Structure 1
Amino acid sequence: VKCCGAPWLHQGNVAEFTRQARANVERLDEVVQQGRDIIVSQPTCAYVVKRDYPIYVPGEQAERVAAHTFDPSEYLVNQMRKDRSMTLGKVELDEEIIFHAACHTQAQNVGLKGRDLLKKLGVKVRVVAKCSGIDGTWGYRSENAASSLRMSSALADQIAKTGSTTIAGDCHLANTAIDEALGLRVEHPISLVRKLMGLETQPPLKGN
């Protein structure tokens, strides 16, 4: 599987996007028909697979792939709802966690699963929903740089006013924009859960 094709789609190169999408759909559908789900770590890419592939490469394959594609937090929270024995321990944290609700996560209409995952630890979570100014690949183009920075600065100001230094977000692109604006590390919810539970200090598992 290659790039989801978003850079081409966002620049209006529909022909190249469709070519890439068709190749990915065929490969991913093979995996789905083996009984496996697809985890996409970047919300922009997940949105493209879930929403754009069925439009530009219509058919049963694209629909099947879309139905079995999940963001990491979405997948984990869904699994915990299916299997009540899957639980997270409670942790003590004095400050509240700031959770950035990324645009392409919201656009998937699956709820804020990264926030839900963090709340399972029993910590306070405040949602900030301003745009990071990235918009897939838009914010990385030189002609949009000034506008992108203005958007991200508004988001950074809102986060800074909270006084919290523990920040999480599902979107790696948005997290980088916040990091660059504030100089604070923004972590993926799953990484932050691992850190708060002290799992980062444990040695990795070794095979036989």
Structure 2
Amino acid sequence: MKFDFKAISDKCVKCGKCIQVCTIYGINSDEVTSPRGFLDLLGAYKRGELELDKDVKNIFESCFLCTNCVDVCPGSLHTDTAIENVRKDIADKFGITWYKKVAFWFLGHRTILDLAARMGYVFQSCGFKIQKDAKFGNSMSARLEIPLLKKERLLPTASKKSFMNSHPDFVDNGGERTIGLFIGCMGNYAYTSIGEGVLKICKTLGINVDLMKKQACCGAPMYFTGDFKAVEKAAKFNVEYFEKILEKVEAIVIPEATCSAMVKMDYIHFFEDDKEWQERAKKVSQKIYLATEYFYKFTNLEEILAKKGFSDIDVTCHDPCHARKMQGVYKEPRALLAKNYKIVEMQDPNKCCGFGGVTMQSNKYELSRAAGQQKVHMLKETGVKVVSAECSACKMQLNNALHIGEVDMKCVNPIELIGMVLDENLEK
């Protein structure tokens, strides 16, 4: 897609509201790495006054794409979209690192990825120390022991069997209603208990589930890295597939904020110069919901949970950037969780956890680490053992940050917490 960098740069009035909430500026207090700094540089780039050299590449790859600046901007300027587009130009000029290409290729070939995931489960003990938390299902993590990578890091590991391969194409709960489930790559291969939680909820509600097994990766990792060719392939495939699915289901439910924001909102941005596909993406987006949003607005799950009693687990809530700021979803998970858990709010639940995408996690991990530790400080002050976040990227980032900070706390998807309630006999 084409993007007018000069137009968005000229609209910035330099009020400075964005700087106060900017994730990267909070770590690196340099005007260059601030939203209005980014926009100034983008304007200079458009005017031919700035060359995309390695220094400029480094600057534009330092943005976390948290959308905090968009959220507070008086003009609602989409600095995030501008940076996503300049990263496309950067990728075209410098290329994409080989290991990112490999990862993106696997994400675009699910059958081969299924095999790779199974092989990964078998051989991961060669390079990882596995930790498993029985209380929170099969959400596993591994401490890296590979010399070339940071030994401190705690990352999710492949499950023995992917979520979609563990269930039939269609789960018949004897209901009159049916939803489609877009599980996402992380939920399918690592955090499989999230999908199991959705199935438990749907069984309780009597809602049938189409697992949409032909679904492709949403394309978010490629989009944030600048691989627009891969994004176009994934986006067009999914939009066409969703159109067919929506002929037989009432909605497509996604328990992952990043995936949901990508297919519901970023596809529309991506197809800005292709009106036919943009209109198709817009039509599809009207039937896409974050899981807690759907269950809160369109079912009686809240009423059912109210009859289950209270857990002895206290919870604090982290609001994923792609949930609260992009989709306006943050009240819904709290409303559902509050029926069974005491919620202790942290100082700033809206503060970005610092995941930041593939580039931030690989080339700029120290920035991601610093942002994560800022969030950990807030989490420690709550005194609880569980932080809820409806995003696997946040879950991965926060669990790693908590591990590094030596804090006895786990990040769990709210769908997993609700599934636990439906499994247990709580005191009424």
TM range (shorter): 0.7 to 0.9
Match of 2:327?
Answer: 109
Unmatched 5+ stretches in structure 2: 1-214, 272-276, 404-408
Please identify the structure whose Cα radius of gyration is greater.
Answer: 2
Deviation at 1:164, TM superposition (A): 1.1
Unmatched 5+ stretches in structure 1: 202-208
TM-score for the superposition, normalised by structure 1: 0.83
Amino acid at match of 1:199: D
Q: What is the 5 A alignment of 1:84-99?
A: 86-88=303-305, 89=307, 91-93=309-311, 96-99=314-317
**What are the Cα deviations for residues 102-143 of structure 1, in whole angstroms up to 9, with x where unaligned?**
1111133333122222123363341522211112434322x2
**What secondary structure sits across from 1:153 in the alignment?**
helix
**Contact conserved, 1:118 with 1:125, CA < 8 A, in 2?**
no
Alignment match of 2:338 (pick from 119, 124, 127): 119
Amino acid at match of 2:318: H
Alignment partners' CA distance in 2, 1:166 and 1:85: 21
Alignment match of 2:284 (pick from 65, 71, 90): 65
Alignment match of 1:131 (pick from 349, 352, 377): 352
Identical aligned pairs, as a percentage?
Answer: 24
Deviates more, 1:109-118 or 1:151-160: 109-118
Alignment partners' CA distance in 2, 1:115 and 1:85: 11
Deviates more, 1:93-102 or 1:156-165: 93-102
**Contact conserved, 2:255 with 2:292, CA < 8 A, in 1?**
no
Alignment partners' CA distance in 2, 1:198 and 1:21: 35
Alignment match of 2:411 (pick from 170, 186, 191): 186
Alignment partners' CA distance in 2, 1:130 and 1:73: 20
Alignment partners' CA distance in 1, 2:361 and 2:302: 43
Quick one: higher RCO (CA 8 Å, sep 6+), 1 or 2?
1
Alignment match of 2:270 (pick from 56, 66, 74): 56
Q: Does 1:30 align with 2:244?
A: yes
Q: Kindly tell me: are residues 50 and 176 of structure 1, through their superposed partners in 2, closer, same or farther at Cα, counting changes over 3 Å?
A: same
Deviates more, 1:33-42 or 1:89-98: 89-98
**Contact conserved, 1:5 with 1:17, CA < 8 A, in 2?**
yes
**What are the Cα deviations for residues 172-202 of structure 1, in whole angstroms up to 9, with x where unaligned?**
111122212224321111211232x36158x
Q: Does 1:75 align with 2:294?
A: yes
**Contact conserved, 2:256 with 2:392, CA < 8 A, in 1?**
yes
**Contact conserved, 1:98 with 1:166, CA < 8 A, in 2?**
yes
Match of 1:204?
Answer: none
RMSD of aligned Cα (Å): 2.3
Alignment partners' CA distance in 2, 1:140 and 1:84: 36
Match of 1:205?
Answer: none
**Contact conserved, 1:115 with 1:125, CA < 8 A, in 2?**
no
Q: Kindly tell me: are residues 192 and 35 of structure 1, through their superposed partners in 2, closer, same or farther at Cα, counting changes over 3 Å?
A: closer
Deviation at 1:15, TM superposition (A): 2.5
Alignment partners' CA distance in 2, 1:84 and 1:69: 18
Alignment match of 2:423 (pick from 187, 194, 199): 199
Q: Kindly tell me: are residues 166 and 35 of structure 1, through their superposed partners in 2, closer, same or farther at Cα, counting changes over 3 Å?
A: closer
Q: Kindly tell me: are residues 102 and 138 of structure 1, through their superposed partners in 2, closer, same or farther at Cα, counting changes over 3 Å?
A: farther
Alignment match of 1:20 (pick from 234, 238, 248): 234
**Contact conserved, 2:345 with 2:382, CA < 8 A, in 1?**
no
Alignment partners' CA distance in 2, 1:116 and 1:151: 28
Alignment match of 2:373 (pick from 139, 153, 157): 153
Q: Kindly tell me: are residues 26 and 176 of structure 1, through their superposed partners in 2, closer, same or farther at Cα, counting changes over 3 Å?
A: same
Q: Kindly tell me: are residues 35 and 28 of structure 1, through their superposed partners in 2, closer, same or farther at Cα, counting changes over 3 Å?
A: same
TM-score for the superposition, normalised by structure 2: 0.43
Alignment match of 1:11 (pick from 225, 239, 244): 225
Match of 2:361?
Answer: 140
Q: Kindly tell me: are residues 137 and 67 of structure 1, through their superposed partners in 2, closer, same or farther at Cα, counting changes over 3 Å?
A: farther
Deviation at 1:66, TM superposition (A): 0.8
Q: Kindly tell me: are residues 161 and 68 of structure 1, through their superposed partners in 2, closer, same or farther at Cα, counting changes over 3 Å?
A: same
